[in-house]
Amino acid sequence: MVFIELTLRMLGLGYKIRYKLPEKTTADYNIFCIGESTTWGIGAENPTRDNYPKQLETMLGEQFPNKKIRCYFDSSIGQNTSEILLKLPHYIKKYQPQIIIIMTGVNNFWNLDRSNIFVFNKNTAVLKYTLKTLAFLNKFRIWKLIKLLRFYLHLYEEKWNRSADNRIKSFWDEEAYQDKLNKIASTVAEYDISEMVKICRANNISVILCSYPINCKFLRKVHMKIAQEYSLPLLDNCAVFQDIPDIYSYISEDRWHPNRKGYALIAKNISSLIKKYKLIK
């Protein structure tokens, strides 16, 4: 187990070296896309080329031919909102974006590493000590690997079949799935994303908030609440994708991440929001 842990850490270091933050180049408009695997592009055949930030950059280049527009993103995957919040000042300093797009929160339900969850935990002592134990275990890569494997095995169960109203049932919609932890994780997401918005506002940066393509009912409510509270443009990807008759042609085999076609749809709708709200002059 020690050998596996060290191996995973070395692989993680190699990943960070290979997929380090891109260098900032001269542009008229800089856009930074905040997120995790659904921003990096998992599910697409070539994630770093077919993810929604890269496709959005191409679309905006066609929409504004006289402007040089760059879309940047962090290739980190599996990070929670608290980890992203800690990185946000560095993102702003490095890229000086005029627009920041936020689609994050889903990893709060399984990754407690450096999480603000203990600030909001008001439950029983048993849950408190359970959370502390889980947070400690989250420091180990092998523990995260086991949880990810378990998660992806669950994705292929019958719960992913369409329900009677022709909608996809999400893994996170299972009523028996750690209801207390879900509520706390959602509260942390609301706090962290709200803080991100405040930091962006303090730096005169426009914000677009996005929900996930596959329904995560706890997070979707959080995203909608924050968008309403701060009067933000909201792209409800969940509503968009659920209304597609052939939704599986837009989703990858893991039934969570979009494929290239799905990321193109997200990019197209973000492009429409940018035009609608005149975020690029």
For the four alpha carbons of 13, 93, 38 and 103, in that order, the dihedral sign comes to positive
Instruction: Flag whether 238 is in a domain.
Output: yes
DSSP 8-state code for residue 235: E
Count: domains in the chain? 1
| Phi, psi values for residue 249, rounded to 5° | -80, -10
Instruction: Flag whether 281 is in a domain.
Output: no
Give the model's pLDDT for residue 122. 57
Cα distance between residue 104 and residue 86, in whole Å: 14
pLDDT digits (tens, 9 = 90+) for 81-95: 999 999 999 999 999
Cα distance between residue 37 and residue 107, in whole Å: 10
Strand, coil or helix: what is 98? coil
Give the model's pLDDT for residue 176. 45
DSSP 8-state code for residue 208: E
Give the model's pLDDT for residue 130. 66
Instruction: Flag whether 142 is in a domain.
Output: yes
pLDDT digits (tens, 9 = 90+) for 62-72: 999 999 999 99
**Inter-residue contact 61 to 69 (CB < 8 Å):** yes
Instruction: Flag whether 227 is in a domain.
Output: yes
Question: For every one of its 281 residues, what pLDDT tens digit does the chain have, with 9 covering 90 and above?
Answer: 888 888 877 877 776 666 677 778 889 999 999 999 999 998 998 988 899 999 999 999 999 999 999 999 988 888 899 999 999 999 999 999 999 999 999 888 777 766 766 666 555 555 666 667 766 776 777 777 776 676 656 544 434 344 434 444 444 444 444 566 677 788 889 999 999 999 999 999 999 999 999 877 778 899 999 999 999 999 999 899 988 888 889 998 878 899 999 999 999 999 999 999 999 98
pLDDT digits (tens, 9 = 90+) for 129-152: 666 776 677 677 777 777 667 665
Find the distance separating the first CA and the last CA of the chain, reported in whole Å: 55
Give the model's pLDDT for residue 242. 87
| Domain enclosing residue 26, as ranges | 2-276
Domain with 222 in it: what CATH number?
Answer: 3.40.50.1110
Instruction: Flag whether 30 is in a domain.
Output: yes
Give the model's pLDDT for residue 202. 96
pTM: 0.77
DSSP 8-state code for residue 78: S
> Alpha helix locations (H) across the chain?
2-18, 37-40, 47-50, 52-63, 81-95, 117-120, 125-137, 141-154, 179-202, 217-229, 237-242, 260-276
Instruction: Flag whether 264 is in a domain.
Output: yes
Give the model's pLDDT for residue 223. 94
Instruction: Flag whether 182 is in a domain.
Output: yes
DSSP 8-state code for residue 212: -
